[in-house]
A and B are shown apart, each in its own frame.
Chain A
Amino acid sequence: MLGVLVEVTVKLIPKAPFSRVLLAAFADIRKAGNAVADIIAEGIIPAGLEMMDKASVRAVEDFVHAGYPTDAEAILLCELDGTEDEVATGLAEVTQLLDRCGAVEVRVASDDIESARFWVGRKAAFPAAGRIAPDYYCMDGTIPRKHLAEVLAGIRALSKKYKLEVINVFHAGDGNLHPLILYDAAIAGELERTEAFGSEILRLCINMGGTITGEHGVGIEKINEMCIQFNNDELDQFHAVKAAFDAKGLLNPGKAVPTLNRCAEFGAMHVHAGENKFPELERY
């Protein structure tokens, strides 16, 4: 949008000498969400902190047999890194904390091989979705973690409304949610229903004080939702910045930032900083 990248310099950091992952199962997704907050409150910043809901656990378990507990409502994967001692102390601390938070089971990987197996499931979530449905649509909203249970409940309600299955994987440490909507593009109208479903999920994320995209960015998809997250002045400012780099509008025109006309056609109800009009009305 702003230029053609021809070279990139990045900072490198030494790799941690040791890392280990643990897996915790919860019978209640709300408790799993609270456990994440408690880990952070304890001053622990894990190298990875991921959550999966029951539907995604079952989907990957059928696929890669990672050994996940398929009766759990949610599982958490928490990886710590540092020196061996540091990791051992941290894992003991996190295990105690997860017990207190109501985890029904906590498994600490005994070695690198088991650590890798714990991760295999999470990393296979996207292909697993592809295995159980002809198509899937991945969303990327980010929310304050404290609203996780509420957002997941909202997604479940939307799933019923649109009659489409959804599985959820979640970069829990960052509040970054990846609902994967399962659909079949060969069925007339299903893609459009999927897009409408996705749009409502993003609207929900904005209403909760979050954002429509945490890491995937906006191209053509999600461009309409930009009209909800930003007001016209803000969109104007984006266009002015683009023009400063690309006066003739040659680079990826029409992507990432919608024109005000497009927003008018989309008929967006702008929600600013999570302040909802008529908050007393139920929205999902």
Chain B
Amino acid sequence: MKRRKNIKTVIYHGSIWIIGLLMIYPIFWTIASSLKPENEIFRNSASLIPSIFKWENYAQGWQGFGGLSFSTFFLNSGFVTTMVVIGTLFSSALVAFGFARVKFRFRTPLFVCMIITLMLPSQVTLIPQYILFHNLGWVNTYMPLIVPAFIGGTPFFIFLMIQFIRGIPHELDEAAYMDGCSTFGIFWRVILPLTTPALATVAIFSFYWTWDDFMTPLIYLNDTKLYTVALGLQMFSDPSSVSAWGPMFAMSVASILPQLLIFMFFQKYLVEGITAGGVKG
């Protein structure tokens, strides 16, 4: 009996490891290719072990192209992402509190509007938004990337925060109200400190989506000096301009490194965010 159980355990863990390694293979392959000498990348391509570790690929890749190094792209992405995260935290906390705790008229219809926009394909508003930003003179600036975050541009985050705030006992608000706290005071002193885990989730998600975002910068940024990492990498990997594959793989790895690190350290918040949005909804 015991032995049968052991065999089952071995089969379980064994098959999960095999599927898992298959799944993770493309990522290992990217890392391995980024360290291979040029002539090894596409010969015995499947191998994950470079004959020598060619770290120069990274130094060479970082030089970028056309006099623009990846330092520029990383700084640009860093700036845009930071601003978007700040904007998202600001708007989603305020708006979620309004929906979850203040009993104003038209709250329900407005809430329904917000839920509907959750499911609105972004392509529908893309063109008129472009025309709007074009007329405002915002094309080729970071404004179209940053401003929407400050005005609740991603309803998913508001929804996530509302779900979280609804779970906080009302007695806390009432006690603060009895002590003469204003509504804003309740938000600032009572609710906001309690929502830190949800805020962390929101911050991580908005970091990911902004860092990854390709379409928005592609549409709004023309000047290569303003390019984010995603755009820079796309340019760098253009088949007509790639002369060396090693540096291209090296920069691919570099571009996903921030995401990987954040995932390693803040996994918990991410998992909570995904499940809170999906199950409690």
Q: Do A and B bind each other?
A: no
Interface residues of B (CB under 8 A from A): none
Which residues from chain A sit less than 8 Å from chain B, CB to CB? none
